[in-house]
Structure 1
């Protein structure tokens, strides 16, 4: 087997391993490689991750592992890597600085670097540092050629040839200065939006609740803003959100809800709320936890122009207009391997180094 095929096989086996950890339950399966060494250990790492970061609920952790197990199918991996089959001439050391807003948020960069044939040095966020090192060990067992190609550090980055860094707008400015002499992908804050016409079905709006509330709205693919026509009836929107009302039972979410509501009321902002979600008219894209901003639009054409002008602030656009390249309701948190963050083709970047 050539090395590209070997690496595809390794991540396929990792996907099979992760398939044991889903929202339906954690169930040990037969014929998973090295399960006797890793199954109980990963189960423990999920428990530790939830204890160390209370945003990482068991439900959200298992949602992430389940999604990655499905994404790492043999067919998807082969389709994704097919344009780069001839491989790279000289492996480079790639530094990857990861965010920690949602579970395994840096996994796609990790996968991209290794499947390209490069070596990786990972600097993780303290908010999400338990799962990936464990899965890296599993990969080294499945694919011994990866031994020595994966390094994690909490210190200053050692020598590297290129960097992929994800952070806030503030840290991105620092990254751009610090890494100005290296090939880089530097990602800033982005948010996702939903475009509503008022003709959505109740099912569409219930599906939208997944895009709004998954990971407590902390992901860049989480919908934090609505664009609505002038006469929009928000009652329909709130009815669609109601199936997520139990989210207020999460203490951390409830604290944010109470705090942000108090701030809005003291500032005398007009808000609409239903006991677990607030909406506020606001031109910004990034809304605080437990709130969603909205903005009115006049015509569809003028809105599409605005979305194009603001493209650098937007990760996904959700609407019923999939012909415009928009994502269907309820699907923002189910990206394919080729759905790149910020629209930058990571594999192409890595193969051109």
Structure 2
């Protein structure tokens, strides 16, 4: 099928996902019941961003114009999807679908319901696409692989897929650089970068860099925007556990009712904890962070704008590896 026909199908999918179809509402409720981290609010946010940034006709056509035509000799491409936030594997499937290859998709047990529903709707509306995407528990005999997982699982992926063309993704996170002059609106936007999806995404800010003698009061006030997350039992359990750890270890910390700020050299932080560190030279820090392969985003003035970390475009590839270039080059 032509790219234009597939874009038409994706635009229709966007219209469906942005609507209030009773079937979709039932699927969203089932997804929440199956995975307590997938709250209705965060499912809706993920769908909203997918429709706005991935399934817009003009954006899709502009993005596709930068790549070769779909494969005339389709390959079997195995995709191991992540499941840390709702529909996080959608972009990989989208690239596989538009590249013209045969997608063999292993869904995460954490995000089976939503992803399966999206694929099933496209097949229902367009039977000609039915065989292009198959959901499988085991990915064998594929010609290429895309796999997303932890640093530990990545070692296994590297071993099993070594002789095939592959893209292997590891743990990543995001950080922010503050200079102390941020407005209340900018800090509220940063709160989104930190707290959306409970901080589980690779684009969530898990550490901030601040100048010496930084006053955290305004930031703590902004983070109270998400104080309601303390009512979520899974998040509250993490908060209580991590607060107990810092108390028992007699470690310095700053906290409000929904997040703990702790000084640490580590970029990665546990759920409900935001690490911070001090800097003296913002320019040097920015250059250093650009070379850090553990980082997906750097948020701040001159980098990804505050509040935009969780709104990636079609060309914002995980780990910075151009998935579409990889697929069209097979």
Normalised by the length of structure 1, the TM-score is 0.91
Q: Hey, what's the Cα distance between the residues in 1 that align with 2:287 and 2:58?
A: 36
Deviations 1:7-31 (A, max 9, x none): 11111111111111xxxxxx3xxxx
Runs of 4+ in 1 over 3 A off after TM superposition: none
Shift of 1:203: 0.8
Q: Hey, what's the Cα distance between the residues in 2 that align with 1:66 and 1:242?
A: 24
Match of residue 220 from structure 1:
202
Shift of 1:309: 3.1
Q: Hey, what's the Cα distance between the residues in 1 that align with 2:262 and 2:64?
A: 43
Q: Hey, what's the Cα distance between the residues in 2 that align with 1:83 and 1:65?
A: 25
Secondary structure of 1:211's counterpart equals helix
Aligned pair count reads: 329
Task: Please state if 1:125 is matched with 2:108.
Answer: yes
RMSD: 1.2
Deviations 1:242-290 (A, max 9, x none): 2211111111111100001111211221111112110111111110011
User: Higher mean Cα deviation, 77-86 or 290-299?
Assistant: 77-86
Secondary structure of 1:84's counterpart equals coil
Match of residue 340 from structure 1:
317
Contact 2:193–2:308, Cα closer than 8 Å, also in 1: yes
Q: Hey, what's the Cα distance between the residues in 2 that align with 1:104 and 1:301?
A: 35
Q: Hey, what's the Cα distance between the residues in 1 that align with 2:202 and 2:96?
A: 21
Match of residue 103 from structure 1:
86
Match of residue 220 from structure 2:
238
Shift of 1:42: 2.4
Q: Hey, what's the Cα distance between the residues in 2 that align with 1:308 and 1:148?
A: 41
Match of residue 45 from structure 2:
63
Within the candidate set 133, 152, 167, 1:170 is matched to 152
Secondary structure of 2:65's counterpart equals helix
Contact 2:105–2:134, Cα closer than 8 Å, also in 1: yes
Secondary structure of 1:14's counterpart equals helix
Gaps of 5+ in 1: 21-26, 28-38
Contact 2:69–2:99, Cα closer than 8 Å, also in 1: no
